[in-house]
Every structure is written in C-alpha cells, then in structure tokens.
Amino acid sequence: MKHLVLVCAVGMSSSILVNRMIRIAEKKELEVMIHASGMGDLASFIDEAHLLLISPQIHYMEEKIKQKYPRIPVVSLSAKDYAEMDGEKVLMKGLRIISEN
C-alpha cells in the first residue's frame, strides 16, 4: 500500500484536496493511504510515507523538507493544481512519482 502525505502550513486547506483524492482512490479501488498534515504534525506520518506533496503555501520550505527526509520524494504542487482541488489529477501524479522512484 502506498502512502501519500499532503503537507501544508496547518493541514486545514489540504484536507479538502485529500478528501477528494480519497474518493477517487476508493472509486478506482486503489490501495493507497492519503493524509493531510500540517508541518507540526508531519513527524506522525513520516515513517510510512512514500511521497510528500507540498502545498503552494509552504513551497519555500521544499528544500528544507527534502534535507530533513532524504529517503522520501518531496514534490511541490503547482498553485494551479492546488487551487483546482482536482483530486484525481493530484493522486495520479503522486502515484506516478512513487512508481518512478
């Protein structure tokens, strides 16, 4: 099972996108776990994470996160993808990145 974590400043806005991603994963019968996390809670999810998706609000922290968690791919979502809240697009992009690593 693949585990994606969508990280934003506090985890509030990302939870909307995560809920949409979960609905798509269930519809497609994909074996994935998807969580929204604020920076302060990230350590709770990091051990199982296969990918960290960074929201545009904390894009400036991408390099710091990559250095702190070098074994996990870290990808910043574009402002457009995040604003559109297209759960399918973000989920499929995330799964593609995991399969490439």
Tell me the per-residue pLDDT of 15-56, one tens digit each, with 9 for 90 and over: 899 999 999 999 999 999 999 998 888 899 999 999 999 999
Dist CA 5 CA 50 (whole Å): 8
pLDDT, the chain, mean: 93
Under a CB-based contact definition with an 8 Å cutoff, are residues 98 and 2 in contact? yes
And the tokens for 68?
């702190």
Q: Which CATH number fits domain 2-100: 2.70.70.10, 1.10.3720.10, 3.40.50.2300, 3.40.720.10?
A: 3.40.50.2300
- Of the candidates 4, 6, 7, 8, the residue annotated as catalytic is 8
Question: 43 catalytic, yes or no?
Answer: no
Check: CB of residue 5 under 8 Å from CB of residue 49: yes
Using alpha carbons, select from 97, 96, 85 the residue that is nearest to residue 18. 85
Q: Is the pLDDT of residue 13 over 80?
A: no
Handedness of CA 64, 40, 92, 57 (dihedral sign): negative
pLDDT given at position 11: 64
Write down the domain spans for the chain: 2-100
> Quick one: tokens of 71?
């074994």
